[in-house]
Structure 1
Amino acid sequence: MAWIGLAIILLGTSIAAFPIALQRALTICQSADCLTFNVAVINQPTPEEVLVLQQLGLSIGHYAIYQVAFVLLPCLLSFFVSVLLIWRPGQKRMVWFMAFTFLLWSWFFPPDITYQVVPPSWHRFINIFLLAPYYVTWQLMFFLFPDGHFAPRWVAPVALGRVGLIVAGLLFPGSVLDENTWPMWVGVAVNASVICLGVYCQFYKYRHGALQHRRQTRWVVFSLSAVLVPGFLFLGLLSLPAFTQPSLLRLLAYPPFTLVIAGVYLSFAVSILRHRLWDIYIIINRALVYGSLSAVVVGAYIMVVGALSTLLYVHGSLFVSILGTGVVALLLVPLRERLQRTANRLMYGERDDPHAVLSRLGQRLEETLTPDMLLSAIVETVAQALRLPYVAIALKEGEQFKTTAEYSAGQSTERPFIVDEAGALTLPLVHQAETIGQLIVVSRAPGEEFSLADHRLLANIAHQAGMAAQAARLAVDLQHSRKRLITSREEERRRLRRDLHDGLGPTLASHSFQLEEAIELLAGDPDNGVASDPIAAAALLRDLKTQTQVMVADIRRLIYQLRPPALDELGLLGALRIQAVQLTKTNQELHIAVETAPAQLPPLPAAVEVAAYRIVLEALTNVIRHAQARRCRVHLSFIAGQPEMLEVTIMDDGLGLPSRFQAGIGLISMRERAEELGGVCLIDSTATGGTRVIARLPFVSLEAS
């Protein structure tokens, strides 16, 4: 209802003021004050300008329609946008604020005309309820759009102080608080400073805001860069003599500025209603460059011409104009290149300087103390250097990729939204021809494709990140291996303690009692009349001998589980051949061959021997149980290099792996034994249908550990 009431008041006063505005534009001005250009009034033609219009075949009526039409253009646009906003359901407070702001901007005519359609007693009402909100919303919308908050926070006192000053000046007209009593340069300086601060707020929100707000702010940044700054410089040009003398140029000067205002209105409207309508990154880039270039060129021209005119005491000289144009022309090319680099850096980060990005990345990696922070440092550096909303690194775990480090310019809840809407570019992280992960980057805007320069730089970064990812993965694997080693050691200690406590301990205690009883049987007890019984003592000792033999077998079993004695007696090759013979005796249909290359293996670390021995025995056990094979070949080969390693291959001609293969406890233990040494254990089917197990056991990892 408040919006409807305000709309009725504004439309009513504007319709009533329309004939007055038209009549003013039709009135020939005889005063010199009419030559002063003012955007807040309807400009009237001078007699000289009427003659110029007549020479062109135009009447003063044509000029009046031309002038009033361009006043109405931004106002009608604002009213239309306000209607669209107010009809959108479920709006937030900021949208309501913008709806009323657009409605106030649709006030067709300046206050001096509006005052003529209402009684004088209403002037204070117009000042308080129409003019004050009009100026306040115009000032605040640059600070509050699009989220309704002041950012950075320190601008809030300045903005609110400016609002208070506007309201005070309207409540107490004619006082020192009224801007109309100030010198013109003071008013211009205050308004320009506040508007520049509001423009800075929009750029700040564009750089630091959430993703949704950045997309809306782009349009405002575009309009401020493309039209607003050159527009105000255009107003500065209007102070030159060419625009303060009766001429056709002065008559035609107002419409371009109204188009500037309409452009700003339109940018706010699009950012609210259809902020994803077009990808305007390139437009913004060009607008920043050429808008700033226009501003600097016009400013430089004004300064040069003004300075030369003052020094030479000439005005309107062709020589001065040509000289000023020459100075500006000399500055044009280097200035454009510098502005282009600045705009690219603002929007695309350091894309045009790959050496700086890689140096910065290398410096961050050198400063990172722990391997687990390497990937986080990479994604953060890449995102900040290239102005990307989201960067992540996913490492390969089995056949899947798991995200291990990510960086988002917004909040954590925005990350799925960013990737789903904007899409992502995935680059492989490769180390020694093996894909170990992915670098995931999201473009700066939805639908925007990365340029060739972006692809080249990201490829170089992915190369560096591949080595860092491998280092991080090795650090994680080492940590997991240490945990498994500690766990295995503790489990082994627990097992030994249990076997010694539950087996050997009670047995030795029992032996002590039995020996004591045998001594008593042999000695007898003459004092109590008990004679010795050698036969019973001998039987007891024979029973004790049997128990001791069982205990010795248990001790040998414990020792064998720690390290098979055959490895120390026969070596790895001899121990495996003995086991192959024993297994062949239990399954006479299976022939097992044990081979080496070279024929004589070099001395092997103890842990490598144990791991190879256990892996081969587990593989042979699986062959006997599941493969139904007739031949099995065990091949041991020494591989020289850095590091040196032992490769163990067990291959049979059996049934092979099932279609739905799932590793059991035995196969998992084989892999764990290889991984504990820093090696690998691979299981697959052969071309002929059998199964092949390949284990590579490096020497260096063991010695280092």
Structure 2
Amino acid sequence: MTAGKRRLAAGLGAFAVLEVVAAVVLSAVLGWSFQEALDSFVVTNGVMGLTFAACGAVIAWHRPSNPIGWLFVADGIGHATTAFGAPLSQTLFDSQAPVALQRVVATVINWSWPWSIGLFLPLALLLFPDGRLLSPRWRPAAIGIVVTAPLFAVEMGAGPGGLIEGAPAGYPSIPSYDSLQPLWTATELRGLIAYGLAIASLIIRYRRASETGRRQLLWLLLAAIIALAFMTPWSLVAGTPILVLLAIPLVPIAVAVAIVRHQLLDIRLVVSRALTWALLSIVAVGAYAVLVAVTDSFISSRFGRSAAVTVIVALLIAPVLPRLQRLVDRAMYGDRRDPARVASLVGEELSANPAGGMPGVVAAIRSALRLPYVAVSAGGEIVASDGVLAGTPGLLPSTRDAVVPVDLSYGGTGVGSLLVGLRSGESGLSVADRNVLALVAVPLAVAVHATRLSAELQASRERLVAAREEERRRLRRDLHDGLGPTLTGVAFTADAAANLVSVDAARASELLGALRTDTRTAIADVRRLVDDLRPPALDELGLVGALQQRADQLSWRADGASVSVKVSADGLPALPAALEVAAYRIATEALTNVVRHSRATVAVLALRCGSDLEIEVTDDGPPNGAWKPGVGLQAMRERAAELGGQFEAGPSASGGRVRASFPLVTS
């Protein structure tokens, strides 16, 4: 079905092109000059026939289900038929062909093009860009255009005379045509209303559309406004040059680009410049008219009106253009020429919601710069985004998606990226855009860094809570499964011994012996639980003494070779209990790893205290490549992180090295 529609579109478009080519060839055979071809509408209708038919065929080829392409193809055939009919009518008239045949050709000429202007074009504008009406409420407007289109066709097709002077008129001929002038004036107003409704529909669509839809609509809005500006004098002012009709082909070109390739050019820049010059032209014409009226009698008698007024107008317009350009640029590109304002908006969003204001920040940046898409990424994930961008949802956009990353760094370290979607037709960010983004990147990087720290803090709190609950579960299990049954057995044994002491002294003595053993076991379990909570050696010997004791116990490797473990610690101040436990656990775990996994003969445990408490364990074992992370290394790293410390471990040039440092809080 789609292939058949494409072949039909291509065939109809080719038919219109052949008609225009035939019109050009026949005009050349007749020896018509360009002015004669222009007066016979061969030039204007030929150009409109080519553009409408070609653009309609392209749209129908790529979007067969969109009626706009087929409406344009029909529009192009209508204009192309009129263009071919004019020189054909002249040929028949010169060769004195039968009058009936000449009248048939004149009828085709007069009745083919009005449907293009009165029906196909306004209806296509009303259906742009997806081939559907804006809403069911617009159905009466579409029906009105269709129902009243025959009035315009009758006005143009049933008029007296024809394109060729002396040639017979077409069918039908209305004798009282001139007396119906009020009806024809109403018909002209009907055309303006139809196009006005179409433009109103486009404006409403623009306000409701997404970024992609707005890019499409800007193309057509610009072309439609230009065409309407040229066509209004043609409809209402007699003597308007025929060449104004060449503004109409802008519409199919804009529609084809909008539907098929809306990203071809930066339409915002085009509209910006067009609006600027339009406003400037209006100001210039108004100023010229006022100055002519005021200075006509004074200046023209002395200096000559044209030269004087032109100079004065030029002097007045010179400072106006930059102001107009700034106003239009702000409407199309936002506040990119005012970086301080954009930075202020970002600051307001961050101060209003410092904890979770990133979505508001990216929305403020996108709105302030009129960008299609803005996002902030950190750690390979999208933190916040605003706008619409073609691509796979949930994935980081790539450069193929017309996105430019702007690095965000804090303290010389990259913390993320600001992903900026390019406007339609842009291949990169302009200097003005980069200046604004460079300014807002500074507070944005601070916010991303703070957000990341907040997330890490929350994750750390969650780990601490989980570790605490896991420790409580372990203690409960040990008490329930170990110490609980032992104490229960002690109680039962004591009761049994008490009952037998007067009856069976020997058996009571045995039970007391068992009771003594169970009690010692319970005491050992209690001691083990207490030791797991805090090593008793820390309270008995202090940190340095406890570490020296542990170092003495780790003097032999698993293969029987001896290890000389030295402890170096001078001038350590009193440390908080949590810091003492962390330092003890990390140091003893590091020394245990030396004995178990390295072939070192000498290990040194050094504790140094300045602004930080530093623990370093080094050995002279041979290098074995990069260390594989295990449970011990992970436990040491987590202990350091819990107290805000730093941890690093791995091979060095002289052997293995484990280092941890903790900040000291001084009063």
Q: 1:592 aligns with which of 552, 558, 565?
A: 565
CA contact (8 A) 2:649 2:658 kept: yes
Contact residue 374 and residue 385 of structure 2 kept, 8 A = yes
The alpha-carbon distance between structure 1 residues 163 and 316, as it changes in their structure 2 partners (threshold 3 A), is farther
> Does the 8 Å CA contact 2:415/2:445 hold for their aligned counterparts?
yes
CA distance in 2, matches of 1:561, 1:218: 73
Contact in 1 for aligned 2:405/2:418 (Cα 8 Å): yes
Q: 1:356 to 1:269 in 2, by over 3 A?
A: same
Residue from 91, 114, 125 that aligns with 1:142: 125
Task: Tell me how far apart the structure 2 counterparts of residues 304 and 141 of structure 1 sit (CA, whole Å).
Answer: 43
Deviation at 1:616, TM superposition (A): 1.8
Question: Could you tell me how far 1:433 is from its partner in structure 2?
Answer: 2.6
Q: Deviations over 1:233-265 (max 9, x none)?
A: 9869x96xxx96xxxxx7xx332x233223333
Equivalent in 345, 349, 356 of residue 330 of structure 2: 345
Question: What is the RMSD computed on CA atoms of the aligned residues?
Answer: 4.8
Conservation of the 8 A alpha-carbon contact between 1:394 and 1:437: yes
2:357 is aligned with 1:374: yes
How many angstroms apart in 1 are the aligned matches of 2:18 and 2:418?
A: 61
TM-aligned CA distance change 1:136 to 1:613, over 3 Å? farther
Q: Is the 8 A contact 1:426 1:441 kept in 2?
A: yes
Structure 2 letter corresponding to 1:600: G
Per-residue CA distance 1:344-400 (angstroms, 9 max, x = gap): 22343321111111110111112226x2x333333322222223333332223xxxx
User: What is the one-letter code of the residue matched to 2:441?
Assistant: A
Q: 1:691 to 1:60 in 2, by over 3 A?
A: same
- Per the alignment, do residues 10 and 97 of structure 1 end up closer, same or farther by CA in structure 2, a change over 3 Å counting? closer
Q: 1:626 aligns with which of 576, 589, 597?
A: 597
- Per-residue CA deviations over 1:418-457 (Å, capped at 9, x if unaligned) read 6353443333322223222222223224661212222222
Q: Partner of 1:63 in structure 2?
A: 35
Specify whether residues 99 and 435 from structure 1 end up closer, same or farther in structure 2 by C-alpha distance, changes over 3 A only. same
TM-score by length of 1: 0.74
* Gap change, CA 1:5 and 1:286, over 3 Å in 2: closer
2:586 is aligned with 1:612: no
Q: Distance in 1 between matches of 2:217 and 2:116?
A: 23
Do structure 1's residue 197 and structure 2's residue 200 form an aligned pair? Answer: yes
Question: TM-score normalized by structure 2?
Answer: 0.78
CA distance in 2, matches of 1:78, 1:564: 90
1:254 aligns with one of 238, 242, 252: 242
* 2:321 equivalent to 1:336: yes
Going from structure 1 to structure 2, the CA distance change for 1:158 and 1:675 (only over 3 Å counts) comes to farther
The amino acid across from 2:281 in the alignment is S
1:681 and 2:655 equivalent? no
Map 1:177-576; keep pairs closer than 5 Å: 180-182=183-185, 190=193, 193-194=196-197, 196-197=199-200, 200-201=203-204, 204=207, 208-211=209-212, 213-214=213-214, 216-217=216-217, 219-220=219-220, 223=223, 227-228=226-227, 231=230, 253-255=241-243, 257-277=244-264, 282-298=269-285, 301=288, 325=310, 328-368=313-353, 371=355, 373-396=356-379, 401-410=380-389, 413=392, 419-445=398-424, 448-524=427-503, 532-533=504-505, 535-576=506-547
- Percent sequence identity over aligned pairs: 32
For 1:9 and 1:447, how far apart are their aligned partners in 2?
Answer: 37
> For 1:653 and 1:286, how far apart are their aligned partners in 2?
74
Aligned counterpart, 1:49 = none
- Asked whether the equivalents of residues 375 and 382 of structure 2 are also in contact (C-alpha less than 8 Å), the reply is yes
Asked if the contact 1:680/1:696 (under 8 Å) is kept, the reply is yes
Q: Deviations over 1:145-203 (max 9, x none)?
A: 3333556x6994685376267348559989xx998454699568646744652563575
Aligned-partner residue type, residue 664 of structure 1 = G
2:429 partner SS: coil
How much does 1:479 deviate? 1.5
Aligned equivalent of 1:669: 635
Q: Identify the residue that residue 95 of structure 2 maps to in structure 1.
A: none
Q: Contact 2:640–2:662 at 8 Å: present in 1 too?
A: yes
Change (3 A) 1:380 1:658: farther
Q: 2:219–2:258: 8 Å Cα contact kept in structure 1?
A: yes
Residues 77-92 of structure 1: pairs in structure 2 closer than 5 A: 77-86=51-60, 88=61, 91-92=64-65
Residues 224 and 456 of structure 1, relative CA distance in 2, 3 Å threshold = same
Q: Offset of 1:667 from its aligned partner?
A: 1.4
Task: Identify which range, 614-623 or 322-331, moves more after superposition.
Answer: 322-331
Relative distance call for 1:97 and 1:418 in structure 2 (3 A) is: farther
Q: Report how far residue 499 of structure 1 moved.
A: 0.8
Rounded Cα–Cα distance in structure 2 between residues aligned with 1:484 and 1:163:
70
Unaligned runs of 5+ in 2: 90-99, 156-176
Change (3 A) 1:423 1:230: same
Q: Find the aligned partners of 2:277 and 2:419 in 1 and give their Cα distance.
A: 34
Distance 2:597 2:384 in 1: 43
* Cα distance in structure 2, aligned partners of 1:172 and 1:231: 23
Deviation at 1:501, TM superposition (A): 0.8
Aligned to 1:603: 574
Native 8 Å contact 1:391 1:441 kept in 2? yes
- In the TM superposition, what is the alpha-carbon distance from 1:565 to its structure 2 partner? 1.9
Asked whether the equivalents of residues 279 and 446 of structure 1 are also in contact (C-alpha less than 8 Å), the reply is yes
1:137 partner letter: F
Shift of 1:511: 0.6
> For the Cα contact (< 8 Å) 2:152–2:188, is it kept in 1?
no
- Per the alignment, residue 165 of structure 2 pairs with none
State the alpha-carbon separation in 2 of the partners of residues 435 and 17 from structure 1: 67
State how far apart, in whole Å, the 2-side matches of 1:99 and 1:379 are. Answer: 41
Q: Secondary structure at the match of 1:106?
A: helix
Cα pair 1:219 1:271 within 8 Å, conserved: yes
The residue number in structure 1 matching 2:613 is: 646
